[in-house]
Amino acid sequence: MSGSREMRLVLENVGDALFTVDAHGVVGAERSRASERFFGAVPASGSVCEWLAATDAAAAAWLDVSLGALWDDVLPVALALEQLPQSMTDRKRHFSLKYTPIYESGLHSVLVVAADVTSMVEQRRSDGVQRDVVAALRHVVSDRAGFEDLVSEVRKLLLRMLASPDAIEIKRVLHTLKGAFATFELQALAAKAHDLETMIVERERRPSADEMGELAGSWEIVDGATRSVLDLLRSRVAVPDAVLVGLASDAQAIGGSDLAARIRSLRCQTVHTRLARLADYARAVADRLGKPNLEVVCACDDARLPPEPWLPFWSALVHTVRNAVDHGIESPDDRVRAGKSPHGTLTLTARAQRQSFAVEVRDDGSGIDWERVRTSANKVGIAPVTPEELEQVLFLDCVSTATEETDISGRGIGMGAVREACEALGGRVIVRSVPTSGTTIRFEFPPADV
């Protein structure tokens, strides 16, 4: 293969735009195929400025005037090269530009290498916006009211900016936006506003609709990410813990012990949150076991419990829920054969009453097969006689009625753990099972714990 053919193949296949520009600003005939793919066909005049102006008119004009300086031989070549444009963009694609002087008894031409860096620029931009989202969420949590003010101010300012024909007004709006963004550590947005402001100040040019739209688009991402969190928080009031404790002791002092207890309970977790989490878990287990569309009913009042002492009970209650879905509720086929709807229903209840606080897990399955419980007990050398003794077997770690041990249940450990956790809180467990109708496991606690 001849040298020139080899070079031709290189130019046809290299990913970057490679071309030379001479002292008259004319593009050399030998150039890589990517050059035209990036910037379109070179015009008949061969003028680099005219050619690149279709992609980025400002960068092309800059290149034109700066290339001239290179051949003027007034500035040092190193400075003249450094002052050439280092990038260009048509806003959809971004290119980096590098220059190498070519000498042949004096400066002959400049080799220009343009690389498509669009994905890198976009990645950097999206990283910046993501950092702004994190900063925004931090402020939503620490200073919700302040952030809400920012949101309403920014929305108004952006509308004013996009609608204004007046560069001076746009500059003023951008300056205000920049300050507002910076106050909330939204660095990428502040930098973007600053760039647009600089464009007006130094180039005396009104930013284009696209350029302003880019700023508005980045704000939309931050606004959208924080909106759902703000909506959630808007219906709540955050009070420092110390204030709540002080309020409760004030109520106690004026003899309102009921009120004091209610105030103290605000520091506790709602039982509803716990039940909702268990309900999600039950549905997921049912799906995995081929018992789809499990209906989970949560019924509870606004009881609140201190998180610390109750944590072991809620953790252990998972076993009860799992057993109900795995062993209690039958497969869709079995349910249809028994004249039931194909999907089961699990009811999770938590209610505070005058005499007690009770949590119930009820399924509408086949009920406990007591004969199987007896057989399982016999296998490990236990011979229950009374119904009470038989019920106790359910809570023995070594006994499982499951026919096979799965990753979901079957080791017979869970029921013992939940009873232990219940009793640690001064509670007791009551089992009610009706053949073909289902099973209810009820945990009753003294009212003082609620």
Partner 1 sequence: MSKKIILVDDSVTARQQVKTALRGGDYEIVEAIDGDDGLAKIEQHRDAALLICDVNMPNKTGLELLNVLQDRPGPHMPIVMLTAEVQPDLLQRAKRAGAKGWIVKPFKHDLFVATVRKLVGDA
Where does this chain bind partner 1 (CB under 8 A)? 58, 61-62, 64-66, 69, 72, 74-76, 78-80, 82-83, 85, 198, 202-203
Give the nearer residue to partner 1 in terms of CB position, either 97 or 137. 97
Give the nearer residue to partner 1 in terms of CB position, either 62 or 395. 62
Q: State the minimum distance, in angstroms, from the CB of residue 175 to partner 1.
A: 17
Q: State the minimum distance, in angstroms, from the CB of residue 95 to partner 1.
A: 17
Q: State the minimum distance, in angstroms, from the CB of residue 166 to partner 1.
A: 21
Q: State the minimum distance, in angstroms, from the CB of residue 79 to partner 1.
A: 4
Give the nearer residue to partner 1 in terms of CB position, either 80 or 393. 80
Q: State the minimum distance, in angstroms, from the CB of residue 61 to partner 1.
A: 4
Q: State the minimum distance, in angstroms, from the CB of residue 49 to partner 1.
A: 9
Give the nearer residue to partner 1 in terms of CB position, either 78 or 383. 78
Q: State the minimum distance, in angstroms, from the CB of residue 82 to partner 1.
A: 7
Can you give the chain as a three-state secondary structure string?
Answer: CCHHHHHHHHHHHCCCEEEEEECCCEECCCCCHHHHHHHCCCCCCCEHHHHHHCCCHHHHHHHHHHHHHHHHCCCCHHHHHHCCCCEEECCCCEEEEEEEEEECCCEEEEEEEEEECHHHHHHHHHHHHHHHHHHHHHHHHHCHHHHHHHHHHHHHHHHHHHHCCCHHHHHHHHHHHHHHHHHCCCHHHHHHHHHHHHHHHHHCCCCCHHHHHHHHHHHHHHHHHHHHHHHHHHCCCCCCHHHHHHHHHHHHHCCCHHHHHHHHHCCCEEHHHHHHHHHHHHHHHHHHCCCCCCEEEEEECCCEECHHHHHHHHHHHHHHHHHHHHHHCCCHHHHHHCCCCCCCEEEEEEEECCCCEEEEEEECCCCCCHHHHHHHHHHCCCCCCCHHHHHHHCCCCCCCCCCCCCCCCCCCCHHHHHHHHHHHCCCEEEEEEECCCEEEEEEEECHHHC
Give the nearer residue to partner 1 in terms of CB position, either 75 or 216. 75
Give the nearer residue to partner 1 in terms of CB position, either 66 or 270. 66
Give the nearer residue to partner 1 in terms of CB position, either 28 or 85. 85
Give the nearer residue to partner 1 in terms of CB position, either 85 or 344. 85
Q: State the minimum distance, in angstroms, from the CB of residue 90 to partner 1.
A: 18
